[in-house]
């Protein structure tokens, strides 16, 4: 039986984008479920059915072996998400404004 090098489970697209091989799922998705949501590896594999339980465990092991680096990776990912949401809040796309107007009109019609 041969064992894989842990890095063989991932595609390192950049220092800020590490994905599971043969998947579009980033390690941040798995680690968020594991660290922040407290889900078990088995639960995570059930949620993301396109990846294997082995890939989930490999992601957790990679995190444990590189805790400082991956903690910084996760921090950057969270900060990026906050920046993007704030930009969207300050500059909503035109479709968002149109949907907001339609919602207001629909609510006004319901109250009549």
Task: Domain of residue 105: give its range.
Answer: 6-111
Q: Would you state the structure tokens that stand for residue 106, as one six-digit string?
A: 């629909």
Question: Low-confidence residues of the chain, pLDDT below 50?
Answer: none
- CATH of residue 34's domain is 1.10.10.10
DSSP per-residue codes, 14-77: ETTEEEETTSS-BHHHHHIIIIIS---HHHHHHHSTTS-HHHHHHHHHHHHHTHHHHHHHHHHH
Q: What pLDDT does residue 2 have?
A: 56
pTM: 0.73
Q: What percent of the chain has pLDDT over 90?
A: 59
Total domains present in the chain: 1
pLDDT digits (tens, 9 = 90+) for 66-79: 999 999 999 998 88
For residue 1, being part of any structural domain is answered with no
């Amino acid at each position: 039986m041969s064992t894989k090098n842990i890095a063989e489970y991932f595609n390192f697209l950049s220092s800020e984008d590490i994905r599971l091989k043969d998947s579009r799922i980033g390690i941040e998705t798995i680690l968020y479920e594991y660290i922040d949501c407290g889900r078990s590896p088995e639960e995570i594999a059930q949620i993301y059915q396109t990846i294997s339980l082995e890939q989930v465990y490999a992601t957790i092991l990679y995190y444990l072996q590189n805790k400082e680096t991956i903690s910084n990776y996760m921090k950057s990912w969270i900060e990026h998400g906050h920046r993007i949401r704030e930009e969207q809040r300050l500059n909503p796309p035109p479709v968002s404004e149109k949907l907001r107007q339609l919602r207001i009109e629909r609510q006004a019609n319901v109250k009549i």
